[in-house]
Structure 1
Amino acid sequence: MNKVHDRSSELPAPSSVGDVLSDVLSSVRLTGSMLFLVDAHPPWMSWAPEAEAFRRVVLPQAQHMVSYHIVTRGRCWAGLRGAAPERFEAGDVLVIPHGAAYFLADSPEATPAYGAEEAVTFFRQMAAGELPSVVAEGGRGGEQTQFICGFLGCDTRPFNPVLAALAPLIHLRAASSAADRMRPLIEFALCELRGPSSGGRSVLLRLAELMFIEVVRRHLETVSTGQAGWLAGLHDPLVARTLSLLHGAPARRWTLDTLAAQTGTSRSVLAERFTQFVGQPPMHYLTQWRMQLAARMLGDPGVKVATVAAALGYESEAAFSRAFKRSAGMAPAGWRRRGEMEVGGVTIPTAEPRHPPVARTSSD
């Protein structure tokens, strides 16, 4: 039997790898919800309940809420509620991708000064623009800690490979490079937060999205080739090339044979390595990605199901509908109706916070 030569290691990481990440981030409807600055002095503890407790209050059209926090001055402890905290320094970033309850505090032994109802009410008011964009926590003396809080919504269904690849908590250390792309974004955000001006709310929401994208890009740089996962796959020449091909032409009638031919390897090597990183074979991934694209297209009430099916390479509306139902758990028409109706689901607290964070318009 002739030996099959795997030439995939000779492939450079394709220039369009960044576009694969852009593809996913644009498809999952990344939407800024709020961005504000916390100015804290001991003793203090800032915390958030599980995202589902306030997601439908502040961003009802989103399926999921992601939060991140950038320490801009001082230091603090942070972590998931009920787990051991980690020490954060100025420039460090805390990311909570999956909506778990978490906290930031001046001490690992700190206790919250307000409850879940007060926290939800605070987030509702902040998202509605009813509170100033700089919030004071704790006392007035001691070491000052400041951190930017960003919240944004996104889709998780039918398929969000970026979110699925992230750990429950991500701690990104401060970048040492002078060319750090985050620095000018932080400076811009601080300027807007401390000196609100006309159009500032729109600017802050766009900054919330842009800063999160940069956080994901920085996290991608920390992922090693020895790790598994969708993001790690972007560092592997074979997996990255395959993802680039699939995202570049999702409607094409791909087969494992054609993918193997275009990536210079065998069917078995391609299937094994792709599954190792991404967690599913290439053809399964393609179907999932097509369904995510379909879900986004179905959000437009003017687009017919047959049009979506044709755009994604399905020979018939029936074949597409069967594939979509297997992936999303409901028919395309039902998905569209669900999207139109999914605007509520939690009770908005009406009581004012008993011990809310104190908001102010400028920092000391």
Structure 2
Amino acid sequence: MDLFDEIFSAMRVESALYGRLAASAPWGVAFVAEPEVRFGMVVRGSCWLTSAGLNRPMALTAGDCYIVAPQVAFSLRDDPKSPTCPCTQVFHDRDGDEVSFGGGGQTADIVGGCFFFDKAGAEPLLSMLPPVLRIGMDSTRAQALQSTLQLIALETAEPALGSKLVVSHLADILFVQAIRAHCLCDARVTTGWLAAYTDRRLGAAMRAVHGDIGRDWTARALADAAAMSRSVFARRFKEVVGETPLGYITRWRMYKAKCLLRQSDLPLGAIAEKVGYATDAAFSRVFARHVGKTPGRYRRQGADTCA
């Protein structure tokens, strides 16, 4: 399975909240930092997105989409200097999925919401998100993303039988499209696992690893897969990824183990074997050191969270 297919399969958008804001100038809505990913699209009109994660206010016009990473506070407003009202106050008394708010001037319609993920499965993608991601409508992939958001906008504007289920599935597709557009269009991605994966030589080693994560990988085998000397490969890998090759493999094994513990009924021994450990004891020691709890406890807590 391709690395991205593996991550997207494990990511699991468990649910999505959504709504539609019909705003009129002057207006401003402040959203506090939350553990979820927030998303939105300007359906009509224009607005500004401001956040401590941005160097300057971000202009959004009709058709533009935005993704806000977890734990990032932000505001939407008609003008960067307009005062804001807390989102909890704006949406507190809403009737249905649409809220009208503002002073009665120039209008803007925005559809948006938030994703609730399986935290273990979404970890690699969430870690590479910038604080705020804007996706303009100037590419074919971005237009596909816009089409998905337009379907969400339609379902929120004209709810019908099964609308909540439809929106939940569309939100899943939307996030995959947004990440894909970011990966393909953002030339600034020069470090991290994504940069290594798209590098010709480092990518060859990473594809080998992710094709057989349970193999007894050595520094020599990894360098051979990349067609590089051991020393050059180790240095280049750490420069790009930020950790040693074997450290990266261990971290990815723990990621895969967490997904299997939360999303499958496989016994501990089978999971240990899948991620490259000959015994339950060896796996449990490494897991506890990296995650801070035993595999059994992690699985039980995951089940309690989902119950």
* TM-score normalised by the chain length of structure 2: 0.88
The one-letter code of the counterpart of 1:65 is E
The residue aligned with 1:352 is none
- Once the two structures are superposed, the pairs formed by residues 304-323 of structure 1 within 5 Å of their partners are 304-323=267-286
Provide the C-alpha distance between the structure 2 equivalents of 1:181 and 1:234, rounded to a whole number of angstroms: 24
- Once the two structures are superposed, the pairs formed by residues 136-175 of structure 1 within 5 Å of their partners are 136-140=100-104, 142-157=105-120, 160-175=123-138
8 Å CA contact retained: 2:31, 2:86: no
Deviation per CA, 1:5-26: give whole Å up to 9, x if none: xxxxxxxxxxx7xx31222232
Provide the C-alpha distance between the structure 1 equivalents of 2:83 and 2:110, rounded to a whole number of angstroms: 19
8 Å CA contact retained: 1:220, 1:232: no
Deviation per CA, 1:81-111: give whole Å up to 9, x if none: 6964222222322221122111111111222
Number of residue pairs the alignment of both structures matches: 306
Provide the C-alpha distance between the structure 1 equivalents of 2:137 and 2:146, rounded to a whole number of angstroms: 10
SS of 1:180 mapped into structure 2: helix
* The one of 65, 76, 93 aligned to 1:104: 76
The one-letter code of the counterpart of 2:125 is V
Q: Cα offset for 1:322? A: 0.7
Confirm or deny that 1:88 pairs with 2:60: yes
Deviation per CA, 1:270-312: give whole Å up to 9, x if none: 2222222222122211111111111122125743222211222
The residue aligned with 1:76 is 47
The one-letter code of the counterpart of 2:38 is S
Confirm or deny that 1:187 pairs with 2:150: yes
Cα separation, partners in 2 of 1:234 and 1:137, compared to 1, 3 Å: farther
Confirm or deny that 1:41 pairs with 2:24: yes
Cα separation, partners in 2 of 1:238 and 1:153, compared to 1, 3 Å: farther
- Once the two structures are superposed, the pairs formed by residues 137-286 of structure 1 within 5 Å of their partners are 137-140=101-104, 142-157=105-120, 160-177=123-140, 180-224=143-187, 227-286=190-249
* The one of 294, 297, 306 aligned to 1:334: 297
Deviation per CA, 1:227-285: give whole Å up to 9, x if none: 22233333311232222222221112222211222222222232222222222122211
8 Å CA contact retained: 1:150, 1:208: no
Please identify which structure carries the higher helix content. Answer: 2
Identical amino acids, percent of aligned pairs = 28
Provide the C-alpha distance between the structure 1 equivalents of 2:116 and 2:141, rounded to a whole number of angstroms: 31
- Once the two structures are superposed, the pairs formed by residues 8-87 of structure 1 within 5 Å of their partners are 19-51=2-34, 64-80=35-51, 84-87=56-59
SS of 1:287 mapped into structure 2: helix
Cα separation, partners in 2 of 1:238 and 1:133, compared to 1, 3 Å: farther
8 Å CA contact retained: 1:309, 1:317: yes
Provide the C-alpha distance between the structure 2 equivalents of 1:275 and 1:238, rounded to a whole number of angstroms: 14
The one-letter code of the counterpart of 2:239 is Q
Deviation per CA, 1:195-226: give whole Å up to 9, x if none: 21111101101111211111111111223277
Cα separation, partners in 2 of 1:230 and 1:82, compared to 1, 3 Å: closer
Confirm or deny that 1:132 pairs with 2:115: no
- Structure 1: gaps spanning 5 or more residues: 1-15, 52-63, 345-364
Q: RMSD value over aligned CA atoms?
A: 2.8
- Report runs of 4+ in structure 1 exceeding 6 Å deviation: none
Cα separation, partners in 2 of 1:109 and 1:281, compared to 1, 3 Å: same
8 Å CA contact retained: 1:71, 1:145: yes
Deviation per CA, 1:164-193: give whole Å up to 9, x if none: 222222233332449832232133222222
- Greater relative contact order (CA < 8 Å, ≥ 6 in sequence): 1
Q: Cα offset for 1:329? A: 0.8
The one-letter code of the counterpart of 1:70 is M
* TM-score normalised by the chain length of structure 1: 0.75
8 Å CA contact retained: 1:27, 1:292: no
Q: Cα offset for 1:156? A: 4.6
Provide the C-alpha distance between the structure 1 equivalents of 2:111 and 2:36, rounded to a whole number of angstroms: 17
Provide the C-alpha distance between the structure 2 equivalents of 1:82 and 1:314, rounded to a whole number of angstroms: 40
- Structure 2: gaps spanning 5 or more residues: none
Provide the C-alpha distance between the structure 1 equivalents of 2:239 and 2:23, rounded to a whole number of angstroms: 44
